Amino acid sequence: MNTRLAGLAVLLRELRSWLLVLIGLAAVLWMLLWAAGIFHPKVHGLADPPPRTIPQGAELVALKSVDIPRYETAVGTIQAVHEAAVASKILARIEEVSVTAGQKVRAGEVLVKLQDQDLRARLGQVDSNLVAAQARQVQAQSEFQRANSLLAQSAISQSEYQSREADLRSANAEVQRAKQSIEEARIQLSFATIAAPFDGIIVDKQVRAGDTAVPGQVLFRIYDPTQMQLVAQVRESLALSLKPGQSINASLDALKFETQATISEVVPQADSATHSFEVKVKGALPEGIYSGMFGRLKLPLGTEPAILVPQDSITRIGQLAMVNIAEDGHVRRRNVQLGREYGDQVQILAGVREGEILLVRKTAAEVR
């Protein structure tokens, strides 16, 4: 009997626990439904406003389809037509760097000076060699003239005369070799002074005073900012139809600049990875343009029909765009999807049809 009573007590405790869980779940469900507005009276949706009468003097425009140009965009970067890597031709310690990155320089302006004591010593040595060679040349010339006089008097043999003639030729060759050595030493000495090859802007400075310059090492890069080009990758099906000299639209997003450019080159080699060709164009240059800037080419693809409406006819509310359409003597507001802008007109992609009558907004303020 006691065992049955104990079992009954355990069962009651479990039932009470489950009852508490169910009550809790019911409370949570009721709160969620209350938050969702289930127990609040419903607000009926507002009916569309009734159509308005067309105001007196309103400007009405019949919508019609026109042909507009289609374009495909090719992205590219601004590059300099004239760009050079300034490098050292000799192994020497850098003594002075006269420019910084971004600095404008003139052609022939000194950029870097290298230590040149050994080169100057070499030039002095070959100068001395020339003096010695010229002295031997004078002596050989004198000996040859004397031998020539003696030969006329039959005072020396023919072989002695030819020996004096050979000595003179050898002395002349020594003088020429010394002069060439001097020219070579002067050229080597000129390598210690590195100058700008043309007017331009210094970029990518890679050295400073105290560094050691190695032959072939790039010290700076310089480009001519007055001659820039836009280089873009164009898919092969379009690139094959482009020709040098053809006009094309180009733009720079950062400067909000657009111009009519001319194709200067279509590189006759496709990229195997992207199947595109490199196209280079030149055009008018805005202020503040630098190498590496982002640009676009607008490649013509023919025309397509489109409906264009005046910008004044568009009413914008947040992200929505609407126009007023005259229909059966009344004005109805119509949501539309806008496309590209063409000056003071904008393309309508959806929401209106050709032949419908548009009410221009500047004369339709009363129908709002």
Q: Where are the domains of the chain?
A: 1-44, 52-68+305-367, 73-82+224-302, 84-113+195-223, 116-191
Separation of first and last alpha carbons in the chain: 87
- Choose the weakest-confidence range: 31-45, 76-90, 136-150, 172-186: 31-45
More confident residue, 23 or 30: 23
Give pLDDT tens digits for 153-204.
777 788 887 888 888 888 889 889 988 988 888 888 888 888 888 888 888 8
The answer to whether 60 and 323 have CB atoms below 8 angstroms apart is no
- Specify the CATH architecture of the domain 52-68+305-367: Beta Barrel (2.40)
Determine the angle formed by the axes of helices 158-190 and 117-152, rounding to 10 degrees: 160
Assigned CATH for 116-191:
1.10.287.470
* Cα angle value 169/171/175 (rounded, 5°): 115
Please determine, for residue 42, whether its predicted confidence score (pLDDT) is greater than 60: no
How many angstroms separate the CA atoms of 108 and 249, rounded?
A: 37
SS3 call for 180: helix
Give the residue carrying structure tokens 């202020």.
287
pLDDT-wise least confident of 128-132, 134-138, 293-297, 340-344: 340-344
Tokens 């052609």 sit on residue: 107
CATH topology of domain 84-113+195-223: OB fold (Dihydrolipoamide Acetyltransferase, E2P) (2.40.50)
Model-wide pTM > 0.75: no
Residue 79 has pLDDT above 70, yes or no: yes
Q: Which CATH architecture has domain 73-82+224-302?
A: Beta Barrel (2.40)
pLDDT at residue 142 is higher than 50: yes
Q: What is the pLDDT of residue 363?
A: 46
Residues 6+ apart with CB under 8 A from 331: 51, 52, 53, 54, 324, 325, 359, 364, 367
- The pLDDT value recorded for residue 280 is 92
- Residue 178's φ and ψ, nearest 5 degrees, are -65, -40
Residue scoring higher pLDDT (286 or 9): 286
List 148's β-bridge partners, or say none.
none
In this prediction, residue 211 carries a pLDDT of 85
